Structure 1
Amino acid sequence: MKERTKFHVGLDVHKDSISVSAAELGRAPARLIGKVTHDLNKLLKVLAKIGSAEQLHIVYEAGPTGFGLQRALKERGYLCEIIAPSQIPRRPGDRVKTDGRDCIQLAECSRAGQLSAVWIPEPGDEAIRDLARAREDAVNSRVQARHQLKGFLLRHDIRYPGKTSWSIAYYRWLSTLNFDAGATQTAFTEYWHTVEAADERVERLTKAPVASITGWRFEPVVRALQALRGVAAITAISLMAEIGDLARFSHPRKLMGYLGLVPSEHSSGERTSRGSITKTGNAHARRLLTESAWNYRFKARIGREALARQEALPESIRTTAWKAQLRLTQRFAALRNRGVQINKACVAVARELAGFIWAIGLQVRREEEQAA
């Protein structure tokens, strides 16, 4: 039988160092244990001096060091949680911030039950997420490369006579450009080659996630989500890699809150004031949902590509996707007719789209359990 937690341990984790503090049960202030280099064996020696693995509840903030430390401590029997930095209570008058103060605050807040732990993905889930984020970085790099090329052309007062940039016709037009000065021609060629290399990189990273999800535990949900309008393969894969198991949300509103799509609120007494969305939680998933929501500004229809994605899906999933499309297209149109600014209308639709994604995810899970 495991012993009851006796110490709450706060860690302030950096690339080169880890500050350690401990708070005993009760109301006594937490004490600073010390600082060690970022080495697991040295940290384990410090933790052993505080108490056994069953007696410690360890917390540290989510950061650039990832989940490696949490997984290593978990393998050794420690209860370790990673805390969302945005959910840590902050004192308005506290203007001194040090590593020691940070880990002491973590320990005391953990003892008081004031912290919210983040979801820890399994190594397989994290691998898919890394691949999806690598594609996102590649897309951003390509956008920058394209802007640099178009900026170069604008400086030389060269304008594309067509309508759509970065099409086959646009690339054909680029191949006809010629500059008198040799140095200018060299600069243009380098910009052009950078754009072409960025295109090839995005193409490779677009194919890689689709090939990598075979056998993934969320593969059935990824297939089902593609029945929704505006949710193709890459979007579905990225959403599941970022959100993880949809069943961990007991209600769709909790998923909406996790994605930061709910309005902020500051109410007191009889006055109720709501503002812009909170933008807490996972920014990558929120961006993907907002991009998908733009597709609902058009009338409801099922195109050729969407029909091909739905072909192998159960009738229940296709029915839910069609209900979602009818609901969200009407919602978008109604908001615009009321004079709501289009970006706000898009965010409102994205919030409801998250609810349909939650419903489809749980529907797939129920069908898998019935089949088993």
Structure 2
Amino acid sequence: MKQVTQLDFSGQKIFAGIDVHKKSWKISIRSEQMELRTFSQNPSANELSTYLKRNYPSADYHVVYEAGFCGFSYQREFAGSGINCIVVNPADVPTTGKEKQRKSDVVDCRKLGQALSKGQLTGIFIPGIEQQDDRDIIRTYNQMVKDQTRNKNRIRSWLHFQGITFGESESRYWSNVFTDWLKSLSLNPSARTVLDLKLQGYQQARGMVLAATRQVRTLSKQERYKKRIILIRTVPGIGEITALLFVTEVGDINRFKSFDALCDFVGLVPNTHSTGDKENVSGLTRRANHQLREKLIEASWTAIRTDPAMTMAFNNYCKRMKKNNAIIRIAKKMLNRIRYVMKNEVGYVTAVVK
């Protein structure tokens, strides 16, 4: 009689830690008790899914990789194959001193697999494809604005270096009169070439900003965002672009269980180091949604001029701290107001919401 053996891992968990790279993956496979295998393969979620199901049929699969260049595409492929996959912030992975000194792809994938099997990892939020793509529109807009500013600064620096004086108020707004003046400057041939090239770079960047702005305006009028943007803009100091940035970056406000969790996501929390009786607070944390934090702080400077309640709060803060610290407190108030109108779906009434 022919003997048939069929594997069945029902009720058992299999963990896979992946160190992802463009050309290959290093993978560590573990059970709940021990490491099973470490190997390399092509960068393919489908290939790994097939391997797990073939070698450990009917198991409960858990996969993890670090957030990075590949985004969330692999996570979505694993989820589509029925495999539980999380993406983690590299800074949240437990690491020993020895692992830091002897870092390698093998060490990294084993570290991920072990931490996952022990329940030590928490995945970051995975946005939907639509939210991710919409978010990229406004991120690209912000990149274009920064590129335009860099080109302006290059021209200003070059003019100073050449000893050419100009009105700071004129260069602040970069009117057509100012750019025409730059084009009319009497310079030697080489200097003229340099300035023309820099001006061409600025004009190209400006055209990209205008094109990106039109796309942002179009996106803000979409039905999926229109209502929320209108609500957020009732908060003094918040404009259309900041409101759109908030809804695309945050998504569902109810995913944050508390206001502190939202502050932690934005980055409006202090960077602290406490040991014994000593506690060192060194400004805001480096872990932040930097675009959102910058826009909120920028909007706060507008709010303290337009909202009497914010003006009063800012003046009170300035009695016991520097203005730059006081504006951070105002930004937290702004964030709390935005959270309030989004959770309750009501517009903000000036000097009422605290």
Paired letter, 2:315: A
Deviations 1:287-330 (A, max 9, x none): 222222222343xx3xxxxxxxxxxxxxxxxxxxxxxx444333
Provide the residue aligned with 2:182 in structure 1. 174
Note if contact 1:259-1:279 (Cα within 8 Å) is conserved in structure 2.
no
Provide the residue aligned with 1:82 in structure 2. 87
Determine which of 30, 38, 49 is the counterpart of 1:33.
38
Q: How far did 1:175 drift?
A: 3.9
Q: For the structure 1 residues 101 and 32, does the alpha-carbon distance in structure 2 shift closer, same or farther, using more than 3 Å as the test?
A: farther
Counterparts of 2:216 and 2:308, CA distance in 1: 30
Note if contact 1:242-1:284 (Cα within 8 Å) is conserved in structure 2.
no
Q: For the structure 1 residues 5 and 228, does the alpha-carbon distance in structure 2 shift closer, same or farther, using more than 3 Å as the test?
A: farther
State the number of aligned residues.
336
Note if contact 2:49-2:83 (Cα within 8 Å) is conserved in structure 1.
no
Residue 212 (str. 1) matches residue 194 (str. 2): no
Provide the residue aligned with 1:284 in structure 2. 291
Note if contact 1:239-1:285 (Cα within 8 Å) is conserved in structure 2.
yes
Matches within 5 A, 1:1-372: 4=11, 6-26=13-33, 28=34, 30-52=35-57, 55-94=60-99, 95-161=101-167, 163-167=169-173, 168=175, 169-179=177-187, 181-215=188-222, 217-268=224-275, 272-298=279-305, 301=306, 325-338=307-320, 340-364=321-345
Q: For the structure 1 residues 251 and 333, does the alpha-carbon distance in structure 2 shift closer, same or farther, using more than 3 Å as the test?
A: same
Note if contact 1:289-1:350 (Cα within 8 Å) is conserved in structure 2.
yes
Give 3-state SS (helix, strand or coil) of 1:292's partner: helix
Q: Which moved more, 1:35-44 or 1:233-242?
A: 35-44
Tell me the TM-score normalized by structure 2. 0.86
Give 3-state SS (helix, strand or coil) of 1:163's partner: helix
Give 3-state SS (helix, strand or coil) of 1:73's partner: helix
Paired letter, 2:92: Q
Provide the residue aligned with 1:307 in structure 2. none
Note if contact 1:54-1:77 (Cα within 8 Å) is conserved in structure 2.
no
Counterparts of 2:118 and 2:203, CA distance in 1: 55
Tell me the TM-score normalized by structure 1. 0.82
Give 3-state SS (helix, strand or coil) of 1:217's partner: helix
Q: How far did 1:5 drift?
A: 5.6
Give 3-state SS (helix, strand or coil) of 2:325's partner: helix
- Stretches of structure 1 that go unaligned for 5 or more consecutive residues are 302-324, 367-372
Give 3-state SS (helix, strand or coil) of 1:357's partner: helix
Counterparts of 1:202 and 1:249, CA distance in 2: 33
Q: For the structure 1 residues 164 and 337, does the alpha-carbon distance in structure 2 shift closer, same or farther, using more than 3 Å as the test?
A: farther
- Stretches of structure 2 that go unaligned for 5 or more consecutive residues are 1-8, 348-354
Q: How far did 1:359 drift?
A: 1.4
Counterparts of 1:92 and 1:341, CA distance in 2: 39
Q: Which moved more, 1:3-12 or 1:198-207?
A: 3-12
Q: Which moved more, 1:249-258 or 1:287-296?
A: 287-296
Note if contact 1:138-1:201 (Cα within 8 Å) is conserved in structure 2.
yes
Paired letter, 1:219: K
Give 3-state SS (helix, strand or coil) of 1:183's partner: helix
Q: How far did 1:82 drift?
A: 0.8
Counterparts of 2:178 and 2:37, CA distance in 1: 63
Paired letter, 1:343: N
Provide the alpha-carbon RMSD of the alignment.
2.4
Counterparts of 1:155 and 1:149, CA distance in 2: 10
Counterparts of 1:178 and 1:5, CA distance in 2: 79
